[in-house]
Structure 1
Amino acid sequence: MSNLYIPELARIVGSKEETSSIRTITVSMQNKKQLTVHPGQFVEMTIFGYGEFPISVSSIIDNKGAFQTTVQEKGKATNETRNLKNDTTIGIRGPFGKGFSLEEMKGKNVYIVTGGIGLAAVWLLLDEILKDRKHYGSLKLLHGARKPSDMIYKDSFVFNNQEAKRKGIEVFLTVDDPDKTWKGNVGLVTDLFKKTNITADNAVVVLCGPSIMMKYASKILIDIGFDESQIILSMERRMQCGMGVCGHCMIGEKRVCLEGPVFHYTEIKESLDKVF
């Protein structure tokens, strides 16, 4: 985009409810140019008359400017996504930030640990790995939510063991508060570490979810033998302006929107201990 301060126009071409407060929105850029984004990067979405918010790109639909984001209602602008209709005009700035390094992960076992809507922030990463599956080792997704009704992407391979196996990924799910329909694991997502036999040997771990979850998951991983350099975190949830101006996303001296949102644990471990 020529001026990152000025939103490019786009329109809504689809919206799907994932939970009562989360929906996946399909966007098409008016200029029909493909959105060039690396997994882990984010855009700023403007709902005219309501405000702007940062959101990760969860899927690239085509090379003509169509992509998807998964949005949780958490404020005035994000709440308005509930009312967006097809052909509604919105604004898009970006992409911004430092994403994941796929080259760093190639040839290694990749373990992705997510909580709640954190799965959306790594969805594009998962897609890129699965498209080039032969260049990676073991691939496991450990995902947790508070309740079964809080799970997103229910029609994907995450909830289809046969499809997951065909794609070459193992999926482990857990909830804190099960209902009568839930047949899976119960407990924190970190409880899955013991059940999945993940080891530090030639591995990298990606964490994305509530900050407190990532803090304690990192400590547990280190306790079971992972080196700090093997742990990667996405701190997308803390961002606001996306330009390094407002200071809302600061973790210690780190500006998440400029220096992240993807960090190695070694880069922010001291700040995590102080802030959370």
Structure 2
Amino acid sequence: MSANPYIPMLGVIVETFDETPDIKTFRVRLKDEEAMARFRFEPGQVAQLSVFGAGESTFVICSPPTRMDFLQFTVMRVGELTHRLHTLRQGDPVGVRAPLGNHFDHQSMKGKDIVFIGGGLGLAPLRTLLLFMLDNRADYGDITLIYGGRSPEHLCFKAELAQWAARGDMRVELTVDNPDKGWSGRTGVVPAVLTELAVSPKNAVAVTCGPPIMIRFTIQALAALGFSDEQIVTTLERRMKCGIGLCGRCNIGDKFVCVDGPVFTQAQLKTLPQEF
């Protein structure tokens, strides 16, 4: 991170492509090649991206630290800042304040089965940990991905989903609420698929991210399957604001999501006021 956490490092967009009608992926390199070579982060950490003249917002770094050709961000167009970000193209500058926040504890997950459960854009933070684990495949047990969206059109990372399904060393279960004529996967909401698959909690960790309603019912389904609160991990980067714990807009009780999070176990969340 830059010496002054208020001052962004200058980045340059090297590639963009559409994931869905309202979600776009940006690949960014720091303009200073020495800074890019020194840059280090952990899966689950986030960045503040600046669109000059428009402002900045928090996005998870959804590429893994094992692949440092660029920093990848996948962004839904939902407000003024993200609308402006979606207009940027290859060669355009952005500001980058990173890395911020804590990260997924991949060290404690070694030797365990990992169940990734995502919905919509919630696959972005899961992607960084999933790719990290695939790049260190021998360190982890069985890997399962359960991922869903409103329709096939609204699934992110479609090419990678096909590649992961074809690997042979992980299980991929895709589901949509509204299938089209060409859809051959499951139909239904993610928590129902999780319950149907009856994933075992034995020596396992479940990592989930998606719309709040999906996360709520996913946690209930995991509990019903026997997962303890310590075995359930999620991320709350949507609540992050300034990124360094000064503005006070991301606090939950005595915790600041941008400093103490965004990654929390369900056990940690249960000790906080139920404000989210």
Is TM more than 0.5 here?
Answer: yes
Query: Which string of whole-angstrom CA distances, capped at 9 and with x for unpartnered residues, describes residues 211-264 of structure 1?
Result: 222122112211221111111111122222212233333334332111110001
1:129 to 104, 126, 133: 133
1:120 aligns with 2:128: no
SS in 1 for 2:107: helix
1:109 corresponds in structure 2 to: 113
SS in 1 for 2:180: coil
Distance 2:96 2:108 in 1: 29
1:197 aligns with 2:201: no
2:6 corresponds in structure 1 to: 5
1:100 corresponds in structure 2 to: 104
Pairing 1:202-241 to 2, within 5 Å after superposition: 202-241=203-242
1:180 maps to a residue whose letter is K
1:265 maps to a residue whose letter is Q
Q: Does structure 2 conserve the Cα–Cα contact (< 8 Å) formed by 1:29 and 1:65? A: no
SS in 1 for 2:220: helix
TM-score with structure 1 setting the length: 0.92
2:187 corresponds in structure 1 to: 186
2:47 maps to a residue whose letter is V
Distance 2:238 2:53 in 1: 23
Distance 2:153 2:165 in 1: 22
Pairs aligned (count): 272
Contiguous gaps of at least 5 residues in structure 2? none
Query: Which string of whole-angstrom CA distances, capped at 9 and with x for unpartnered residues, describes residues 84-131 of structure 1?
Result: 021111100011001001111100000011111010112111111001
Sequence identity of aligned pairs in percent?
A: 36
1:67 aligns with 2:71: yes
1:68 maps to a residue whose letter is Q
The CA deviation at 1:77 is 1.2
Query: Which string of whole-angstrom CA distances, capped at 9 and with x for unpartnered residues, describes residues 22-70 of structure 1?
Result: 1110111011123311000000000001110101111158887622111
SS in 1 for 2:20: coil
Pairing 1:20-99 to 2, within 5 Å after superposition: 20-32=21-33, 33-34=36-37, 35-60=39-64, 66-99=70-103
Distance 1:259 1:213 in 2: 23
Distance 1:176-1:275 versus aligned 2 partners, 3 A rule: farther
1:275 maps to a residue whose letter is E
Distance 1:245-1:161 versus aligned 2 partners, 3 A rule: closer
Contiguous gaps of at least 5 residues in structure 1? none
1:153 aligns with 2:148: no
SS in 1 for 2:5: coil
The CA deviation at 1:160 is 4.0
Distance 1:121 1:63 in 2: 15
SS in 2 for 1:104: coil
2:275 corresponds in structure 1 to: 275
Distance 1:211 1:72 in 2: 16
The runs of at least 4 aligned residues of structure 1 exceeding 6 Å deviation read 61-65
Q: Which stretch shows the higher mean deviation, 190-199 or 24-33?
A: 190-199
1:164 aligns with 2:181: no
